[in-house]
Structure 1
Amino acid sequence: MKKDLTESTISRQNILNNQYALEKVELNLALGGTTWKDERIFTKTQVSSLLSVDERTIDRYIEQNNDELSSNGYKVIKGKELKKLKENFGNDMNVATKTTILGVFSFRAVLNISMLITESEKAKIIRSKILDIAIDAVAQKAGGQTKYINQRDEGYLPASYQEYSYRKEFTDALKHYLDMSDRYKYGIYTNKIYEMIFLENASEYKKILNLAEKEKVRDTMYSEVLKAIASFEHGLAQEMKTKSEELGRKLSQSELDSIIKNAASNPYMKPSIDDARVKMASRDLCFRDALHNKLEGYIQSVPQSDFDKFLGETSKSLEERLSDPETLDVLKRLKDR
């Protein structure tokens, strides 16, 4: 997975979607621009001067990356809006009075094109500063480290408790309905579930996230991943019970393996499994700088809503969650259901 900002759309968008990092970047870089309708804007002439490239280079990058730049704030203005802009800032922005159409960059779009242009030494410097600030911003918001950033989601504790309940249901089913030594069955079939949902066993997962031997894998999982595991465990427990009673005996390993394989290909499970893979692969690369090679095809840019979820006002550490009466009420309702 390429992480060079000039080559990776996902890496660029992960930074541009992080409004907490962008606030710090804007403060630190002080690129200038003109305030128009509550945002900083820059003309093509200003951007070419800022990056020390000619305007034809800017035009070429706009043409080659129009969709990406437009989604991040580049736009063309004309008519009444342009007339008003020229009346207020025409001289300051060096916009000729006869101009009938004008391309303008938002601050975010300026960062975007700085991540794209390879001919500019100034753009390279900006990219380096952006990366440093973005990494520091995430670490600072996450309380110094990101290994347990998943626990800052307000949905984590309910999902974790729910998964714990279904985990008990599944281990009870293994105990009562699988003809296999208790010494091995729990670890083996936990790994089989992991491999079906996110294509990795526990050891592979720990290595990717650099977890210590005693650190628990599930403590680092996102709520959506825990929900997918819980659904899988619940379904398997019910299937094992039904099949065992039907046969009048405990299941063999091959029979349980067949049930697991069928469950993994069940179209009802596919949306939650795909969602778990996308969330794990995308968020871990963005927040933890951890690449799940087997899930590389599922990596997407992380939406702004995820930055709000893990770094925003509603995000809290696990310690804060456990002292929150509302969260404790939710857990109590789950326990009493």
Structure 2
Amino acid sequence: MAKNLTNSLIDRKNILNNDYALNKIEDDLSLGGYYWKDEFWFTKNDAAKLFDIDIRTINNYLSKNEDELKSNGYVVLKGKNLKEFKQCFSDEIYLNSKVTNFGLFNFKSILNLAMLIVESEKARQIRSRILDIVLDVIAEKTGGQTKYINQRDPEYLLGTFRENQERKKFTEALNKYIDMGNYKYGYFTNRIYECIFKENAKEYRKILNLEKRDKTRDTMYSEILTNIASFEAGLAYEFEIESKTKKRKLTRDEADEVLNRFANHPMHKPHLDDARAKMASRDLCFRDALHYKLESYISSVDKKDFDKFLGDVSKSLEQQIEENKEIFERLKDK
């Protein structure tokens, strides 16, 4: 889906928190600047020239977006720092001796400014290039398969193993304690999905544009799999208790009543809120997939997630299997 960086704080944060993309963007754009304290810096005049706009427009954006720009590196030099900067660049920048504070953009905050300015064609071109590079970086790291970017999480393999174990116990509980036909397995799977992330399997697959051969759970993040495993384990226990209390298998209505009571327990809320936020936010950022029923949970993706799925700690599923082969053999034998 098309992204309009000028009016979406979340989309701007998702780029500015992505150090892997920022490094590529800096190399690609080659904006120049004054190299000071291990970074390139830009004055307000530099910004005005770069975007071909009046410096008053720069000041207006600073006034309206000061907190955001400062959070991404814009600084106002004073005292010792201002004196040092003057000494370093006295031949290139004239600063009146009466100036007691001086604003500077680092590379990250100058990109932030480019994402805000609507009056500048140059800013629009930079935004377009930024979006292209972000897509290229993700495609490069994932081999073009963002569908399975979840599997690059070092915790994914353990999460899916745990969920598979609990899934077996859950289906055994459905067989022993629920008096329904074979459709009960798909029925309660959908009910659990709806409880955790407000979508049934069909809705989820449509949003991620999964093909018939794709397995739904192969695309889920480790935290989601852990929530499903926890939910299945708890629900299997509740079905068993209720069935033994009644000394018979449960009807669908009775099982639904147990599920609703279990799902609405307050202990689930923090975990469900966290799972929904992670899935909705990551899918929008990495997969460009919007979970409409979870829009209120969407926030920006933090740096740890970029490390987890794009950084050095991220690994292909094949690597994880090879590295953990002995561990999972031992777990399987228990």
Aligned to 1:208: 207
Displacement after TM superposition at 1:336 (Å): 5.0
Paired letter, 1:148: Y
- Output one character per residue of 1:104-142: Cα deviation in whole Å (capped at 9) or x when no partner: 111000000100000111100100000001111111011
* Paired position in structure 1 for 2:234: 235
1:280 counterpart = 2:276: no
Between 219-228 and 327-336, report the one with greater CA deviation. Answer: 327-336
The CA distance in 2 between the partners of 1:58 and 1:208, in whole Å, is 39
Q: Give 1:260 shift.
A: 1.5
2:97 is matched with which residue? 97
Q: Contact 1:90–1:96 at 8 Å: present in 2 too?
A: no
* Cα distance in 2, alignment partners of residues 151 and 141 from structure 1: 12
Structure 2 SS opposite 1:148: helix
Pairwise CA RMSD: 1.4
Residue by residue over 1:164-186, the C-alpha shift from the partner in whole angstroms, topping out at 9 and shown as x without a partner, is 1111111111000001012x000
SS at match of 1:76: strand
1:328 maps to which residue?
325
1:285-314 deviations in Å (ceiling 9; x for gaps): 110111111111111101011110001001
Relative distance call for 1:262 and 1:54 in structure 2 (3 A) is same
Shift of residue 98, structure 1, vs aligned partner? 3.0
Which residue number in structure 1 is paired with residue 137 of structure 2? 137
Between the aligned partners of 1:91 and 1:329, the Cα distance in structure 2 is: 64
CA distance in 2, matches of 1:333, 1:14: 40
Structure 1 residues 230 and 316 mapped into 2: Cα distance closer, same or farther (>3 Å)?
same
- Please give the per-residue CA displacement for 1:74-128, whole angstroms capped at 9, x wherever unaligned: 1111000110110111332443333210111110000001000001111001000
Counterpart amino acid of residue 187 in structure 1: G
TM-score scaled to structure 1, two decimals?
A: 0.96
Structure 2: where are the runs of 5+ without partners? Answer: none
Q: Which residue is equivalent to 1:303? A: 302
Counterpart residue number, 1:155 = 155
Q: Which runs of 4+ in 1 moved over 6 A?
A: none
Q: Distance in 2 between matches of 1:130 and 1:305?
A: 21
Counterpart code for 2:58: I
Which aligned pairs between 1:65-214 and structure 2 lie closer than 5 A? Answer: 65-182=65-182, 184-214=183-213
Q: Which residue pairs with 1:9 in the alignment?
A: 9
Q: What is the identity, as a one-letter code, of the residue corresponding to 1:305? A: K
Q: How far has the Cα of 1:56 moved from its partner?
A: 1.1
CA displacement 1:213-242 (0-9 Å, x = unmatched): 121000000001001111100000000111
Q: Which amino acid aligns with 2:309?
A: F
Deviations 1:23-71 (A, max 9, x none): 1110010111111111111111111111111111111111111111111
Question: Number of residue pairs matched?
Answer: 334
CA distance in 2 between counterparts of 1:123 and 1:93 reads 24
Q: TM-score, normalised by structure 2?
A: 0.97
TM-fit CA distance, 1:144: 2.3
- The answer as to whether partners of 1:115 and 1:123 remain within 8 angstroms in 2 is yes
Give, in angstroms, the shift of residue 279 of structure 1: 0.8
Aligned-residue sequence identity (percent) comes to 56
